Structure 1
Amino acid sequence: MKRYGSILMTSVAVIALAACSNTSNDRESTVEAVASADELPERFEEPVRLDLIKHVSGDIFFRDGETIENNVHTEWVKDTFNIDLNYMWTTSGPGETFETKLQLEMSSNQPLPSILALRSPLTQDLIDSGRVKEVGELFDKYASDTWKEAMAADPHAWDPYTREEGRFAIPILDYEMNGDTVLFIRQDWMDNLGLDAPETLEDIEAIMDAFVNGDPTGTGEKVYGLAAGFTNQLNTWMSTVDWVFGAHGGMPNQYNLAEDGSLVNGDIQPEIKDGLETLKQWMDKGYLHPESGLWDEGKAAELFTAGRAGIIAGPHWMPDWPLAEVLENVEGAEYKAYDIPTGPNGQKGRSTGITSQNGAVMFNENATEDEIQAFFVYQNYLFENFANPDEGSEFEYGFAEGYDYVFEGNDVKYGEDDIPGGRIDPVKYTLTFDGARIPSLYINALADFARGEEPQTPFERKVYLQYPEQAWEGARIVVDSADAQIPSMFTGRPTETMVSRGDALDTLLSEGFNKIIYDEMPIDEFDHLVDQWKSQGGDDVMKEVNEWFDVVNASE
C-alpha cells in the first residue's frame, strides 16, 4: 500500500450493487426494512447478488488463477455476508477508458448501476443529473458508530456533495494530513558543510547558498538548492513550493477562508506577490534549476534522487517513494525530514486538503432496500473490523495471509520479496478501493513512533513494519504543526464561469507567475494580472464560489 497511489489515482472505479433496469423498482425485496444500523443483518439468509462494474487499474494484481470476478475478496464476501459479487463488465488500461465508457452510458441515458463509487469529476455530473438519491439520511440511519465518528473528524467532508436539497454522495475517507508538506534535506551535505537545522526562510536560503556554492559533495559537481517543479501549479503534491507562499501568509491554487468568513482566491492575494519575489530571487541565484518551470512533480523529484539537489518538499511518505532512490543512486547519501520554515513575520503555512478526496458513493434513484442495506452491511463491517482491527481478529495482520502478508516462523512479513509470488493487495478489490480508513489513525501512529513509542495495536504494528523511519519523523512534523495548515476550502463542482472562462483565467495567472519567476515580467505586474483576472471573469467566479459556500454552511 502506497499513500501516493491513493492520493494521485486518477483511474475511475464504479460499483454497482445491482444493475438498474427499467423494471428495477419491480424487483421483490428479500430483506425486511430496518430502522437503524443495529438492526441490519450480520449475514443475509437468502443470497444477495451484487452486480458490479469496475476499472481494473494498473496497480491491481492477482494470484495465479484469480481474476476480479473470482478471488480471495469475492470468496470472503460470499462466506461472510452471503453476497455474490457479479461483475457485469470491467475495463483495464488507462483510467480514462472506464470514465469514457461511463460518460457514454450517461449521455445516452442508459440505466445506471444502483450503487456507484467513483473517483471522478463525473460524481458531480451524476448528482446534478437528478438520477441519484439523497444519501445523508441513509447514512445517518444505517452507518455504524465507528464510521460516523470517522466521518465527523472532518466537518467539511460532505461539502463537495452537498446541495440545497441535501447530501447526495457519501465521502470515501482517506487518511488525514496525507499530503501536508515537509522538507527533506540532504543531511550528509548539511554535515559536510557544518550547517544547522533551519527554522526560518532566511535559514533555508543560507543552506541553499551553501549547497550551490560550497561543494557539499566534495566533487565539484554542480548541484542545486531545491528540487521544484511547477509546470502544473505552484501548490502541488510533490516537489512543491507551497511552503514558500505559506511563509508569507498566503497559499496559491486554492480558495482560502478569509477573516470575514468568505472564500477568496488564494492566487490573487498580496502575499502571493511576496512569494513570487522570493522564487524570482532563488532562480536568479541559481538555487532552482532553470527548467523548474517546465518540469512536473516527478521530473523535479529526479533531480533530488539523482543526488543533484539538496532539498525537496512534499508529503511525509516520500521516503517510501521516490526518495528511497537517492540512497540507491548515491553512495553515502542521507536525508532528514524538517519542518517548513517561518517567514519574515513569523508565519508558516502548508496546503491541506479534506479527508474525503478518495472518492464518493452514490445511490441510484432506483436503488432497492436490498442493495442499500447490502452496501451498509459490507462497509460497516470493514469500519468495525478492518480499519482498526482487534487482537486475534481476522484482519489482525492484513486482509489475507499469502497475499498482503506472510509468516516466517512467528514473524509477520510484508515485503515484496518476503511473500511467495510477490505482495498482492486484496484491499484494492474492495468496493471503496481501500477497504475502510479512519482518517486520524495512520498519521498519529507514525508520529508516535517518531516520539519513541512502541506499537501497541495490530494496526500500529502493521504500519510500524511497513513504513521507513524517515516517514515517521515527517508524520510527527505535520502533526505537531497542524496549526500551519491552510485548508483548500472550495470542493464543489466547477462553477458556471469556471466552465466557460476557467482555463483562460488560470492560464492568465500561471503564465504571468512564471514570467515573474524567470524575470521576464516585473514583479509589480502582479497587481495588473490580478486586475485582469477580476475583470475577465474572476469576480463572477468569486461570487459563484461564495454562493456555493453559503449553501454548504446553511446545511450544517
Structure 2
Amino acid sequence: MKKTTKTLSFAALAMSLAVTACSSNANESENKADNAASGQGSGVIEVSTVSPSDQYLKFDEGENFTKNAVYDAYEKDIGVKVTNKWVADTSQFKEKVKITIASGDLPDFFPVNATQLKELTEADMIMDLTEVYNKYATDETKKYLTMDGGMQMKTAMFDNKLMAIPNTYNPYNYQFLYVRTDWLKKLNLPEPKTMADMMTIAEAFKTKDPGGTGKPYGLAISKNPFNIETGVTGLRAFLNGYHAYENIWIEDGKGGLVNSDIQPQVKQALAALQDMFKKGLIDPEFAVKDAEKEAELIYGNGIGMVYGASWTPAQLVKGAVKDGKEVQEWGAFPIPTVDSNPALSQIGLGVDEYYVVSKKAKHPEGVIKLLNQWIAVDNHPTEEQKVYEFGKDRKEKGNNYWLINPLRVGKQIDNNGEVLPKAIANKDTGILESKDQKTRYERAMKYVNGDTSMWWEYLISGPNGVYSLIPAIQKNKQYLQNKFYGAPTPTMAERQEILLKKRDEVYFKIIMNQVSVDEFDKFVEEWKKLGGDAMTKEVNEWYKTKK
C-alpha cells in the first residue's frame, strides 16, 4: 500500500516530550492523544486538502472525492471531516500545487516537495507543528516516524521547528542483479559474484544465444538508466558495482562532501559500459526505448540479465509465465563487485514529499489525528477499519481504494527478509508480524500450491528470493546513503537540472562510443564551472552545521 521500499537525535521533540511527561498535565495530554486515535472528543472538526485523482483508483458506485466511505470513516471514527479545495489528475497535480502556493489560497494541509517546504517556511506561510505534534501524536505515531533514528523527521525541521510531516517510506530499497538461471545451467556458467563474472555471462548470452532469437544481447538497459524512478533496466546498480554512485553526496575523506557524479570511479564504469556496447552486449537502440519497450526483449528471450529493484519480478513475470506455464527461470543476486570489496547499494533518505499545514488552519490537530488513524489502520486494522483500504464492503477488488486516504506515510524499516523466507519455507504463519507480510505470504503460498500467476511474489519473498538477500546486506552495511538531506541549496535549485542534463548527454555519448571515455574529464571541469563548485560549497556549509 505504500512504496516500498540514521541515528541523529531529534532533540527538539525529545526535549518537548520530556517536559510533557514530567508536567502535571501529563495524563491530560495522554488522554487527548488517545482520544485523537480513538475518535472520542467534542464534536467534529473540518480540515481541507487537495487530492490527486490517480488513474488506478476506482471509486465504488455513487462515490467520489466529495463523498466516499473513507472520508465517512474518518468523520465517524476520529471526528475529522475532510474536504477538498480541488482535485486534479496526477499528471497535473504537482503543477496545480505550484499555482496554489503562488496564489496564497492554501488548503489546511497538502503535500509539497523539499524545495516548496523550504520556500513556504521562509515565507512564513505554514505552521510550526512542534507543539501540536507533541500534544496530539500518539506514542505509536511518534515511534513509527522515528524508526530510522529520526533522520526523516529531521529533514522536516528548520531551526529546531517541525515544519511538516514527512511522507515516509523505507529508504533501504536495494538494487539487485536478475539473471536467467535456466540459461546459466544450460551454458554451465557460475552465478555472478564479481563484475568479471557478470561480463562473462553477458558475453555468453550474446554469443551462444540460449534463447534462440538470433538477435540476443547481454544486459537490458533503457533510455533513462540514471533516473531515480528506473527500478528496472537502470544502470545505478551497475555503477555501484564499480563503487561509483549516481548523483548523491558522499564523504571526501577530508571531512567534507563531494558529488558522486564526477568521481573517477564513474569513469571506470563508463569505460566498461562502452566496451560492452562495442561488443554488442547492449541493445544499440536502448537510448530511445523506455523500460517497458526494452523489457520486451526480456520477455521474448532476447536478454537474460537486468538490474532492478526488489519488485522487478513483478515485471519479469510477463515473460516468465505464459498461458499458466513457467517458461523462464530467474534468480536474484547481490550487486556484483569489481574488486574484493563488496558493492554498496546506494539508497536515498526515504522521504521526498512532505505534508504541510497552512498557518491559517483553524484545526491543525485534525491533521495529526488523520496521521494517527492512518498509521493505526494501515498496520493493524480491525475488521471494521478495513474500510480505509477496500471501501464499504471491506473486500479486495483491485480498486486501489486506499488512495483516497488524504494523508499517508509508510514504514521506514521492515524485517521482511528475516521473516518471509522462513515462513514460506516452513509454512509457518505464526512468525508473520505485519499486514504486508501476511499478504505476501498468502500470495507466495498460492504459487506453492500451483497458481503460477503468483510466480513473482515467490521470487520476491520465497526461500531463495530477493528478500532473503537483504539481511546480509543490512548486517554487513553494504549500502551507502546520501549524506545531504537538506532542502535544495540556491545553486542546486537553479542549476541542478542543467547539470544532470549535461551529465546524461556525456554519459550516453561515452556508453554509445560516440566520444572517448576521456570526455568524462572534460565534463568534470565543465560541471564545476556550470555551478558544481558553487553547489559543493553550499552543501559543505550546510554539512558543517550538522556535525
State the partner residue of 1:411.
Answer: none
Residues 325-379 of structure 1: CA distance to partner in whole angstroms, max 9, x if unpaired? 112459621212111112124231222122223x3111212223xx222222232
| Counterpart amino acid of residue 465 in structure 1 | E
- Would the alpha carbon gap of residues 355 and 60 (structure 1) be closer, same or farther in structure 2, given more than 3 Å must change? same
Within-5 A mapping of 1:101-250: 101-110=96-105, 112-118=106-112, 122-154=116-148, 155-164=150-159, 166-178=161-173, 180-217=174-211, 219=212, 221-231=214-224, 233=226, 236-250=230-244
Which of 91, 111, 121 is the matching residue for 1:95? 91
Residues 480-524 of structure 1: CA distance to partner in whole angstroms, max 9, x if unpaired? 213221212334443222343333322332222222212222223
- Would the alpha carbon gap of residues 46 and 396 (structure 1) be closer, same or farther in structure 2, given more than 3 Å must change? closer
Q: Identify the range of structure 1 (423-432 vs 274-283) with the bigger mean alpha-carbon deviation.
A: 423-432
- Would the alpha carbon gap of residues 395 and 193 (structure 1) be closer, same or farther in structure 2, given more than 3 Å must change? farther
Following superposition, the deviation at residue 160 of structure 1 comes to 3.9
CA distance in 1, matches of 2:425, 2:263: 38
Following superposition, the deviation at residue 388 of structure 1 comes to 2.8
SS of the equivalent of 1:147 reads helix
Q: Identify the range of structure 1 (275-284 vs 156-165) with the bigger mean alpha-carbon deviation.
A: 156-165
CA distance in 1, matches of 2:2, 2:179: 22
- Would the alpha carbon gap of residues 466 and 396 (structure 1) be closer, same or farther in structure 2, given more than 3 Å must change? farther
CA distance in 2, matches of 1:548, 1:301: 41
State the partner residue of 1:509.
Answer: 503
Following superposition, the deviation at residue 207 of structure 1 comes to 0.9
Say whether residues 1:427 and 2:402 are aligned partners.
yes
Say whether residues 1:379 and 2:371 are aligned partners.
yes
State the partner residue of 2:251.
Answer: 257
| Counterpart amino acid of residue 431 in structure 1 | P
State the partner residue of 1:462.
Answer: 439
Which of 55, 58, 65 is the matching residue for 2:52? 55
State the partner residue of 2:61.
Answer: 64
SS of the equivalent of 1:399 reads helix
- Would the alpha carbon gap of residues 539 and 165 (structure 1) be closer, same or farther in structure 2, given more than 3 Å must change? same
| Counterpart amino acid of residue 217 in structure 2 | Y
SS of the equivalent of 1:91 reads strand
Q: What is the number of residues matched between the two proteins?
A: 500
CA distance in 1, matches of 2:493, 2:350: 25
Say whether residues 1:272 and 2:270 are aligned partners.
no
Gaps of 5+ in 2: 6-24, 445-456
Residues 259-308 of structure 1: CA distance to partner in whole angstroms, max 9, x if unpaired? 34432100111111111111111111111111223334333333323332
CA distance in 2, matches of 1:430, 1:382: 8
CA distance in 1, matches of 2:528, 2:294: 32
SS of the equivalent of 1:116 reads strand
Instruction: Say whether the 8 Å CA contact 2:70–2:391 is kept in structure 1.
Output: no
CA distance in 2, matches of 1:57, 1:228: 28
Q: Which structure shows the bigger proportion of residues in helix conformation?
A: 2
State the partner residue of 2:293.
Answer: 299
Instruction: Say whether the 8 Å CA contact 2:170–2:350 is kept in structure 1.
Output: yes
Which of 368, 380, 388 is the matching residue for 1:389? 380
CA distance in 2, matches of 1:162, 1:83: 26
Instruction: Say whether the 8 Å CA contact 1:255–1:490 is kept in structure 2.
Output: yes
CA distance in 2, matches of 1:352, 1:453: 32
CA RMSD of aligned residues (A): 3.0
Q: Identify the range of structure 1 (541-550 vs 393-402) with the bigger mean alpha-carbon deviation.
A: 393-402
State the partner residue of 2:447.
Answer: none
Instruction: Say whether the 8 Å CA contact 1:246–1:347 is kept in structure 2.
Output: no
CA distance in 2, matches of 1:395, 1:46: 21
Instruction: Say whether the 8 Å CA contact 2:69–2:392 is kept in structure 1.
Output: no
- Would the alpha carbon gap of residues 105 and 117 (structure 1) be closer, same or farther in structure 2, given more than 3 Å must change? closer
| Counterpart amino acid of residue 195 in structure 2 | L
- Would the alpha carbon gap of residues 401 and 91 (structure 1) be closer, same or farther in structure 2, given more than 3 Å must change? closer
Q: Identify the range of structure 1 (165-174 vs 32-41) with the bigger mean alpha-carbon deviation.
A: 32-41
Q: Normalising by the residue count of structure 1, what TM-score does the alignment of the two structures yield?
A: 0.81
Q: Normalising by the residue count of structure 2, what TM-score does the alignment of the two structures yield?
A: 0.82
- Would the alpha carbon gap of residues 540 and 348 (structure 1) be closer, same or farther in structure 2, given more than 3 Å must change? same
Instruction: Say whether the 8 Å CA contact 1:186–1:336 is kept in structure 2.
Output: yes
SS of the equivalent of 1:323 reads helix
Instruction: Say whether the 8 Å CA contact 2:310–2:467 is kept in structure 1.
Output: yes
Instruction: Say whether the 8 Å CA contact 1:301–1:312 is kept in structure 2.
Output: no
Which of 469, 472, 476 is the matching residue for 1:480? 472
| Counterpart amino acid of residue 472 in structure 2 | D
